[in-house]
Amino acid sequence: MARPIWSGTLSFGLLNIPVSLMAGERRTDLSFRMLDSRNNARVRYERVNADTGDEVPWKDIVKAYEYDKDSYVVLEPEDIQAAAPESRDSIDVDTFVDACDISPQYFEKPYVLVPAKKAEKGYVLLREALTRTGKAGIARVVIRTREHLCAVMPRGEALLLIMMRFPQELVDISEYTLPEADAKGFRITDKEQAFSEQLIETMAAPWDPSQYTDDFRERLQLVIRKRMEANGVVEKQEDAESPVGENAATNVVDFMELLQQSIDRNRRTPARKAAATKALAKKAAAEPAPKKAPRKAATKKTAAKKAPAKKSAARKRA
């Protein structure tokens, strides 16, 4: 079961609701290890002194602010502690604003607020009030040593806490050169305007997030699976004689099952994406599979089948 990232109370006015902050997103990026191509050993990163080239242990590392190129001011732990916000176990709503007035660039990361036992009534009360008024609660929360600006918003049966960016973190759009004149200033005719609006209407559809998938990730999974099949990794899941081999095979089986479920999952995608996926599948099917890997895998599979016979023969002699 997922563990809460933070536990405390959600408070507005005099109402305190015990809640737990749970993850609202799941990272699906495929992670890679860096290996030495000569022997496939993992590559380590070390903390090295730029002047001497010697490795620096953690106990000798200090934090510093570079106020000018190659000029630093070293900060002691107590300096950072003094500047850190006061730790508190509450999400304090400062004000309620119209949710539609919050510009999208302020939103950063979603979390789910889960009520504690016997706190459901206050949770539902706030959820329904926000839904009916169309408001969002603007609050602050301290997680670890950092204070975050956040918004409390209803979504279905849940209250979401969405981490927000402070205004100082956003680039002022006035810094960029943008077209200031309206349609007439750029000689856009009424017919062109009407045609563009008509085109938008013909392409309009209800928002359905299931229509969109990470195509790059799925294509990369196909490449990974193809590499594994070429190297005979897929066939190793059937070789489970020795205890060591059994553990290794189990890891491969779990990984392959996850890959297979992701690849075979039925997803509705726009017409262009569906066509691209079909073309990729045809291309993969048309390419011949490597011949050497199956022979090695078959040899291991045959050896695995013959192993029990040897054992039974040994028992009869005994």
Give residue-wise pLDDT tens across range 124-152: 999 999 999 999 999 998 887 788 999 99
* Mean pLDDT taken over the chain: 75
Give residue-wise pLDDT tens across range 235-271: 444 443 434 333 333 333 343 454 445 445 544 444 4
Alpha-carbon distance values, 289 to 212, 221, 223 (Å)? 31, 17, 13
Q: Is 160 in contact with 99 (CB distance < 8 Å)? A: no
Confidence grade of residue 226 (pLDDT, cut at 50, 70, 90): confident
Q: Is 113 in contact with 160 (CB distance < 8 Å)? A: yes
Q: Is 272 in contact with 207 (CB distance < 8 Å)? A: no
Cβ atoms < 10 Å from Cβ of 69: 5
**Predicted local confidence at residue 182, as pLDDT:** 83
**Predicted local confidence at residue 135, as pLDDT:** 96
Name the strand (E) or helix (H) holding 127. helix 120-133
Give 236 or 285, the one with higher predicted confidence: 285
**Predicted local confidence at residue 282, as pLDDT:** 53
**Predicted local confidence at residue 264, as pLDDT:** 57
Share of the chain above pLDDT 70, in %: 70
Confidence grade of residue 70 (pLDDT, cut at 50, 70, 90): confident
Residue 50 has which token pair? 């730029």
Average pLDDT estimate for 89-106 = 92
Share of the chain above pLDDT 90, in %: 23
Pairing label, strands 63-68, 71-75 = antiparallel
**Predicted local confidence at residue 225, as pLDDT:** 84
Confidence grade of residue 279 (pLDDT, cut at 50, 70, 90): low
- For residue 233, pLDDT over 80 is answered with no
Give 292 or 71, the one with higher predicted confidence: 71
| Exposure b/e, 28-60, CB count within 10 A at least 16 = b | eeeeeeeeeeeeeeeeeeeeeeeeeeeeeeeee
- For residue 272, pLDDT over 60 is answered with no
**Predicted local confidence at residue 288, as pLDDT:** 53
- Please work out, in degrees rounded to the nearest 5, the angle formed at the alpha carbon of residue 291 by the alpha carbons of 288 and 297: 125
> Would you give the DSSP letter of residue 163?
E
State the DSSP string of 17-84.
EEEEEEE-----PPP---B-TTT-PBPP---B-TTT--B--GGG--EEEEEETTEEEEE-HHHHHHHS
| Of the candidate ranges 117-126, 153-162, 178-187, the one whose mean pLDDT is the lowest | 178-187
Average pLDDT estimate for 95-101 = 95
Total-model pTM: 0.58
